[in-house]
Chains A and B, each alone.
Chain A
Amino acid sequence: MRSLVVIILLLVIWESACRIFSIPSWLLPKPSAVFAALSKDVTSLVRSFFFTAKLTVCAFILAVVTGFLVGVLSHISKGFREGIFPFSILLQTTPVVSVAPLLIIWFRNNAFLALLACSWLVCVYPMISSTFAGLGQSDANLQRLFRLYKSGVWHRLWHLELPSALPQIMNGVRITGGLALVGAVGAEFVAGTGGQELGLAYRLLMAAYNQETAKLFAALAVVSAFGIAVHFLLSYLETAVLRKLRVIKGSAT
């Protein structure tokens, strides 16, 4: 509620400043102009939003599933962990801009897959590292108990390590969600859409190219609103899951 008040206050100050100081609209459009652009372009913005949302959700799901599996396999197999380690570093350190041309060549017949691969590269690492770190943090005494009774790897994973790792895993899911959107928009910036569907990044680029700053702000507002919605949705999911399972940070009580 307080955030809403702050937002309204900022919009009022912004609108007043533009009118009082006669700031040109190509430099900083009034919020009213941005709303006008938003309502005028609502059809194309909604279409672009669905394209970016579809890309974000697909990248998010793919990153959560693959990141989780790689994290689990790294935890249970030293050989896998050591084998995959250099690639994990690559994922973390290689800018997606530098890989995009290669992905465009590989997926030249399917622009969506190229964008998906770019977004996935941006957002998968936090999921791998959160899962791996979380699985190694179960209660040391309970580990002793499971080892004493010769509990199998999968049994220990299912009954002790995975539930103990849930706070970290859910944290990873939340971060991955935010990065999936960053990855989706960033991917479209560098890779384009192959002239097929148009995402929000394309709207941003075109508005900037044509110096239609109000349209640029309108597209930016949609991207930001979507980012905030993703963050709150995943934060709510995180809290609900941890509360339901009574998993408190620090694992055993």
Chain B
Amino acid sequence: MKMNSENLLVGCEDVSVVLSGRRIVEGFSLRIKRGARVGFLGPSGCGKSTLLNLISGIIEPASGTVSRHLPVEKISFVFQDASLIPWKTVCGNLQLVNDLMGSSRLAKEQLSQRIVNLLEQVGLSEHLNSFPDQLSGGMKMRVALARALMNSPDLLLLDEPFSALDDMTRERLQDDLLKMNAANGSAFVMVTHNIDEALLLCSHICVFSQDGKVIKEFLFDDRSEAIEMRLRRESKEFALFRNEVRQLWNSQSRVGGVNA
């Protein structure tokens, strides 16, 4: 895919983040373009989730610049927990995002149609009126994914979205994510502890040290369709990358940096 400056969604230049007097992230730079699949890989507490808050605009940097070339309504979040509202039905949980959209809210009929389409997409059509406590963990996560797609986001921010799921559900949702990326051309930034998941889903991986610095970046050939990334699992290239990341992590562990 040919990229130019018009495709830039968010640009971070030499950014530092300080929270409660502690420097969480330092000297971070990243350009997120339309259709990008970016992965943040690193140990707990290294500032990966903070960076998602920074990219989305929830927090501002202590130094450096963050330029956003998309309205906030075109950004979505998926969290580690489904974080559904227990007193609302699946339909109500999806409506929530629309309620938060302000002026770009969908009209009632469009909204109903959109909810039906999204639930169909994630295979939960028959659960429109179910409450979260009537759904399994995987189903809740699919509702969370559908909720994140309510506003047709150009940028999807995923904070360890599949870490609490079983293998089968995780693979299905990973497939769903890649299909959506391929179909809509929306970009995503994913925080993960899982090296295989990052290599499988992302075309650009930033590996972080414990003190919030990027110690290595991997850029993969992005010419193939996103869905074909799954074929990489069995390839020699995949094994080499995985080995390289593991060695990097091990070297960090020896200097007391990585605890994952």
Binding site for B on A (CB under 8 A): 139, 141-142, 144-151, 155, 159-160, 163, 245-248, 251-253
Contact = CB atoms under 8 A, between A and B. Distances in A.
A246 B86 CA distance: 6
A148 B72 contact: yes
B123 interface: no
Nearest to B81: A141
Contacts of A141: 77, 79-81, 83, 159
A246 B102 contact: no
B73 A149 contact: yes
Contacts of A149: 72-73, 97, 100-102
A148 B77 contact: yes
Given A146-B100, A149-B101, A159-B96, A253 B84 contact: yes
Contact of A145 (B57, B73, B77, B140): B77
Contacts of A148: 56-58, 72, 75, 77
A108 to B, nearest CB: 48
A115 B8 CA distance: 68
Interface string B45-89: 000000001001110000000000000110101011111111100
A253 B58 contact: no
Contact of B131 (A139, A144, A246, A251): A246
Contacts of A160: 85
B43 interface: no
A246 B133 contact: yes
Nearest to B83: A141
7 contacts: A139-B81, A142-B83, A148-B57, A148-B77, A246-B133, A252-B86, A253-B83
The 7 closest A-B pairs by CB, nearest first: A141-B83, A253-B132, A149-B100, A141-B79, A252-B83, A253-B86, A245-B87
A252 B86 CA distance: 6
Contacts of B102: 149-150
